[in-house]
Chains A and B, each alone.
Chain A
Amino acid sequence: GAGVSQSPSNKVTEKGKDVELRCDPISGHTALYWYRQSLGQGLEFLIYFQGNSAPDKSGLPSDRFSAERTGGSVSTLTIQRTQQEDSAVYLCASSKPLASSTDTQYFGPGTRLTVL
C-alpha cells in the first residue's frame, strides 16, 4: 500500500478482554515498530521487529502484551486481560532495511484503544 495502515482505528473493550491490533507496513519495509501514546506521556517504545524476529522487546510493559510478525509483513499486537491503564493510542511504524540509524520511520494513523 501507499502507507502504513492500522486496524481497527478505534477499539472499545471491557476490562479483562483480549484485544488484537493489526499493522500493515509499507511494502518492502523490513523494520517495524510498535509504540504506545498515552495522554501527556509522549510515545513509549514497545517492540521492534527486523523481519519476523523481534530483537528488542524491552518496551513491552508486562507479559500481557505480545506481538508477532509473519511473512515479514503484517504484525499483530495482542493485549490479554486488558486493564484500564492500557487505554491509549497504539502506533505502528515501518522503515526500510536498517542500513543506518538515520532511516526514517513512517507511521500509521494508530489504533485508539479504550478499556472500560
Chain B
Amino acid sequence: AQSVTQLGSHVSVSEGALVLLRCNYSSSVPPYLFWYVQYPNQGLQLLLKYTSAATLVKGINGFEAEFKKSETSFHLTKPSAHMSDAAEYFCAVTTRPSGTYKYIFGTGTRLKVLA
C-alpha cells in the first residue's frame, strides 16, 4: 500500500526565512506526488505535482519541491516566506488499485509566518 508521511503538524518561520515542509512517501511503484495548499476557509488548491519528468518541480507562489527517490522524499521549499504563505499544506500520492485512481493525503502541516 502507498502512504505519505508529513513530519511536523505545525511549522513556524519568520517572514523572509526559508520554508521547508517535509513529505516522505512509501510506494512499491513509481509514484506521482502532489502538494496542495489550503488557505483559511478555502478549498485545497494545487501547488505543484511530480509526474516522473524533472525531479525538481516548480509551482505557484515561488514554491518548489524535489523528488528524491533514494530518500523517498518530496519536500516543499520556498526561499523566502511571505505572510500570505500562512496556510495548511498537504502532500499527496496517487495509487491505482483495481484500475481506479485514488489519492492518499498526508495529515497536513500548518505553516505560520511570523512578522
Chain A residues proximal to chain B, CB less than 8 Å: 3-4, 31, 33, 35, 40-45, 48, 50, 55-56, 58, 91, 93, 98, 100-110
Contact = CB atoms under 8 A, between A and B. Distances in A.
Given A4-B43, A55-B98, 19 more contacts: A43-B44, A43-B90, A43-B108, A45-B103, A45-B104, A48-B100, A50-B100, A56-B100, A91-B43, A98-B101, A102-B32, A102-B49, A103-B101, A104-B49, A107-B43, A107-B44, A109-B42, A109-B43, A110-B43
A60 B102 CA distance: 13
Interface in B53-81: none
Interface string B85-107: 00000101010111111111111
Give the top 6 A-B pairs by smallest Cβ distance, nearest first: A42-B107, A107-B43, A43-B105, A107-B44, A102-B51, A55-B100
Interface of B: 6, 9, 32, 36, 41-46, 49, 51, 90, 92, 94, 96-108
Most chain A beta carbons < 10 A, residue from B9, B103, B106: B103
A19 B104 CA distance: 26
Contacts of B98: 55-56
